[in-house]
Amino acid sequence: MVRITTNITDAVACLNREEVIGLPTETVYGLAGNIYSEKAVKQIFEMKQRPFFNPLIVHIGRTDAVEQIAKNIPEQAYQLIAAFWPGPLTLVLDRQPGIPDLITAGKDTVAVRMPNHPLALALLEQLDYPLAAPSANPFGSISPTTAQHVADYFRDTLELVLDGGPCERGVESTIVGFPGGIPTLYRHGSIPAEEIESVLGQLTYVTRKENAPDAPGMLSRHYAPATRTVLSPDVAQTVADNPGQNIGLLLFNRRAEIPHITHQEVLSPGGNLKEAAMHLYAAMHRLDQLGLDLIIAQRFPETGLGRTINDRLERAGK
């Protein structure tokens, strides 16, 4: 039985025993363990059923700790650190020799970020090692944004979830790397690409890679409900194309006036993309629990966080 708690001392004790815990961050909850513990890191992969070719993100508690994880850090990375850390930005950098191959999937690079959540930072302050913390869900499933989501996923295999409340951002970190010195966006996330470009200038986009991905979140199918999901530019037409189906809708800012819909989730009645992103995964969890035949998700405006939401919904529908 998973214990949900706010007790950091208990979480530290678990981690020091080389166990894995549920960790709150501002993006989604992570499945966290000591990056230098082969036992803990293997347990993360096994619990998630995550392929070993998919690298993990290292979480640190201070900005200067990045130099213990990475080397040859470009000036552009320091500019992003100054602008966005602590926060939902992951950087892919050349790794220091001591970073285990399990973390990096054998690559010469390592993904690292400093989360912006008070409990996560307080926990990291009490540890003398960083944490690997991929999202706390079985591989490919909907990411968790509450402690209860984590407990529901791992009720028989996880000892403790540190409860930091609902995640403020609600979607994963944005991931940026610098292959060949070229700033490259690997994953759309909680910081819109436009904000990264306001610091660095134009980015190169490489957000899909099935074999040996450079960063997490690059596989075509990910973040997916068990229920068949379709991303649609015309919800009414997609409903009409699926007669006799038990359908739920995932919508941006208003309910659809369509008869015979089982359930509708509206992410932001005020039309705020940040609010919509925050509520996205929780709404997907609710829809997935209704025994529907089909979830139809409305395509969002292709700007700012709308691009991130569309990215998640596209991968959910593969």
Gap between the Cα atoms of 64 and 86, Å rounded: 11
Per-residue pLDDT tens over the stretch 60-98: 999 999 999 999 999 999 999 999 999 999 999 999 999
Gap between the Cα atoms of 282 and 284, Å rounded: 5
For range 299-316, the mean pLDDT: 95
Per-residue pLDDT tens over the stretch 249-278: 999 999 999 999 999 999 999 999 999 999
Give pLDDT, residue 212.
75
Query: Which domains occur in the chain, in start order?
Result: 3-205 (3.90.870.10), 229-316 (3.40.50.11030)
Per-residue pLDDT tens over the stretch 103-139: 999 999 999 999 999 999 999 999 999 999 999 999 9
| Higher pLDDT among residues 217 and 126, named by residue | 126
Entry pTM: 0.95
> What are 57's strand-pairing partners?
111
Per-residue pLDDT tens over the stretch 168-195: 999 999 999 999 999 999 999 999 999 9
For range 138-158, the mean pLDDT: 95
User: Would you say residue 225 has pLDDT above 80?
Assistant: yes
Averaged pLDDT of the chain: 95
